[in-house]
Chain A
C-alpha cells in the first residue's frame, strides 16, 4: 500500500544541515499496525508527516495506493489527505468554538458532503466512539481522553485507509492513554492501516510491527 524508497528530508538551520531522514526504504501493507519509536530528534514526526503528505521529502519516491505522490501539486495533496489519510495529533487540534459533533463533521463539511449523509455518518461515529452524550459539548468541556476520541472520530470521518497518530497519548494519563490506544486498535481491526509514533515502550509494544528510528535511519524493523 505504501512504498518509500530512498526518502531523505534535510532541514537547513542557518548554515547547518539537519538530516531528519536519511534514505528511508519502507513498505507498509494494507491493514498493518505499526509503531514508530526512537530517541527524541530521530525523525519520527518527520517520517509521519511525509507519510501524511504534510511534508515533502528532498529526495526519494513515495508511492501511495499504487500512485506516485512525490510530486503532486498542493491542491492534489490536499485532496489525497482529505480522502485517504486521517491525522491524530498529540494536542488534539480541535476547533475550540465548534462542538464535538461539529469537529467530527469538519472533514465532511470541507469535502462538501450532503447534510443528510453527514448526519448519518456523524451519528454512527458518535456511537462508535462513545460520544453521543457529548456531541453538543465544546472541547473545553471535555476531558483529554474525550478530546482525543473526538479527534480520532474526526480522523475516521472520511473513511481513510491510512491513519497516522503522532504521540496520541502524549497529553494523557496512563489509564486514559490505554483507552485511546484501544480505540485506535479497533480502527486497525476494522481494516485500517495505522501508524503510531510513541515514546511509551508499553504502547509501542502493542503494535504487531515495530520500527525503531535512530538519527534519521531505520535501525530496527520487528514483526
Chain B
C-alpha cells in the first residue's frame, strides 16, 4: 500500500464519522491545550525570574562570611570564622579583572525628618554601590569616596523614602536622623520599582562603617563583586579566593557567583514547569482513553469491512497499521487543534494581563504534538490488534 493511499484511506474512515472524530480529537485538544498553556505560564515565570535576577548583569559574585557546605545550611559561626571586614572589600578591589568590590550591611531602621518618621531598609555601602547595581541618581551625588573607616555622616535616599519624608520639598542638603544619629542627605535615587517583591525605592544608604557601628556588627553581610563581563568566571573566582585565603588563613567565606545561583534557579523552575506540564498531561491521558473507546467501537462496527479487506488480500499487519494510523491521525488532529487553542489562549492572556509572564517555546509545541501522536498510538494498539487478529471468515459474517 502506498503511503498516500494509506493516509487517504485513514482520512476517509475518519471523515465518515465527522462528529465522532471531532469529539474524540477534542479530548486530545483539551489535553494539549492545557499542557501548552501551563508550560507557557511556567516558562514565562522562569524567564521572568531569570530576567529579574539578571537585570544587574550576570557578572556578579557575592561573597558572604562563613562556609556553606556543598549542599545546605551555613556551618554557623564556628570559632574559626573571621568576620568579613571593610578591609577585605578594599583588598578584593585589586583582584584580577575585578571592577567593583562593594561592602554591604543591611538592616531595618527608623528615619526621622521634621516630625515625620518612617521605617525603611538601610544599606551600609561603599561608594560603588550604584555601580554594582547599575542604579541611577535622580539628584545630588552618591556617597563620596571618603576614608572607608571614617566616612562622613552622609545619606542617600531611595525615591519612595524621599517622597514619604519630604513630600514635594527638595531633600538635598537636609538633615535627617537615622537610627538616632544625624545625617545629611547628599543624593536621591531614581525610582527603580520592585525586584522580586522587594521595594528598591523604600531604602536609605549610608557609609558601611557607620552602618556596622549602628547595628553593632563586626562583620559585613556581603561583599558584592562585579568583574569584567568578558573575564572567565573561574579566573575571577580563583583571584578572589587567593586574596581572601591570604587574609583569613582559612576558607571561612563563601563565594557565590550569580551564574551558579541562576543555574540553581533554572533547575528549580524547570522542575516546576515540568510538574505543571504533567498535570496537563492527565487530561491528555483522558483524551487517550477517548481514542481507545472510539477505536474499539469502530473495530466492532467495521468487522465485516475488516473481513472484506482480509478476503481481498490485506495482511494482519496491514489491518493493524490501518487502525493504528487512524489513532495517530485522530490524535495528531487533536494535537494540532490543541496547539492552536493553547497558543491563542496564551496570546490572549498576554494581551489581557501584560503583567502575567507567558511564553510558549516552539520546542514544547513540537514535544506536545509528538506526545499527542504517541498517546494516540498507545491508545490504538489494543483495538488495532483486535482488528488484525479477527478471523477473516468470522469477520465477514459478523455485522
Could you list which residues of chain A lie within 8 angstroms of chain B, going by C-beta atoms? Answer: 49, 52, 54-55, 74-75, 78-79, 81-83, 87, 89, 93, 95-98, 102, 106-107, 109-112, 114-115, 154, 158
A-B contacts, 7 listed (Cβ < 8 Å): A52-B311, A54-B311, A81-B311, A110-B312, A110-B313, A112-B2, A158-B313
Inter-chain contacts of B9 with A (CB < 8 A): 109
Give the interface size class of chain B: 20 to 34
Among B9, B307, B313, B318, chain A packs the most CB atoms within 10 A around the CB of B313
- Interface 1/0 per residue, B280-318 and A, CB below 8 Å: 000000000000000000000000110111111111111
Inter-chain contacts of B392 with A (CB < 8 A): 54
- Interface 1/0 per residue, B314-357 and A, CB below 8 Å: 11111000000000000000000000000000000000000000
Among A54, A74, A114, A158, chain B packs the most CB atoms within 10 A around the CB of A54
Q: With A49-B393, A54-B392, A93-B396 in contact, do A154 and B2 touch (Cβ < 8 Å)?
A: no
Of the candidates B4, B312, B318, B396, the one whose C-beta lies within 8 Å of that of A81 is: B312
Q: With A110-B1, A110-B309 in contact, do A74 and B315 touch (Cβ < 8 Å)?
A: yes
Q: Which residues 1-31 of B have a CB within 8 angstroms of A?
A: 1-2, 4-5, 9, 12-13, 15-16
Inter-chain contacts of B13 with A (CB < 8 A): 97
Nearest CB of chain B from residue A51's CB, rounded to whole Å: 13
Q: Which residues 237-291 of B have a CB within 8 angstroms of A?
A: none
Among B4, B310, B314, B317, chain A packs the most CB atoms within 10 A around the CB of B314
Inter-chain contacts of B317 with A (CB < 8 A): 75
Among A55, A74, A78, A98, chain B packs the most CB atoms within 10 A around the CB of A78
Q: With A93-B308, A109-B1, A112-B1 in contact, do A81 and B393 touch (Cβ < 8 Å)?
A: no
Contact assessment for B310 and A78 in the assembled complex, using a CB-CB cutoff below 8 Å: yes
Determine the main DSSP class of B at the interface with A. helix
Inter-chain contacts of A102 with B (CB < 8 A): 12
Of the candidates A75, A89, A97, the one whose C-beta lies within 8 Å of that of B12 is: A97
Which partner residue on chain B sits nearest A158 by CB separation?
B313
Among B13, B310, B312, B317, chain A packs the most CB atoms within 10 A around the CB of B312
Contact assessment for A87 and B311 in the assembled complex, using a CB-CB cutoff below 8 Å: yes
Among A49, A87, A93, chain B packs the most CB atoms within 10 A around the CB of A93
Which partner residue on chain A sits nearest B5 by CB separation?
A109
CB-CB nearest 5 A-B residue pairs? A82-B313, A97-B16, A93-B308, A107-B312, A78-B315
Inter-chain contacts of B15 with A (CB < 8 A): 97
Considering the chains assembled together, what is the distance between the CA atoms of A74 and B388 in angstroms?
11
Nearest CB of chain A from residue B35's CB, rounded to whole Å: 33
Considering the chains assembled together, what is the distance between the CA atoms of A109 and B4 in angstroms?
10
Of the candidates A89, A98, A110, the one whose C-beta lies within 8 Å of that of B396 is: A89
Contact assessment for B304 and A111 in the assembled complex, using a CB-CB cutoff below 8 Å: no
Considering the chains assembled together, what is the distance between the CA atoms of A158 and B314 in angstroms?
13
Considering the chains assembled together, what is the distance between the CA atoms of A78 and B319 in angstroms?
12
Considering the chains assembled together, what is the distance between the CA atoms of A208 and B18 in angstroms?
50
Contact assessment for B1 and A55 in the assembled complex, using a CB-CB cutoff below 8 Å: no
Of the candidates B5, B12, B393, the one whose C-beta lies within 8 Å of that of A55 is: B393
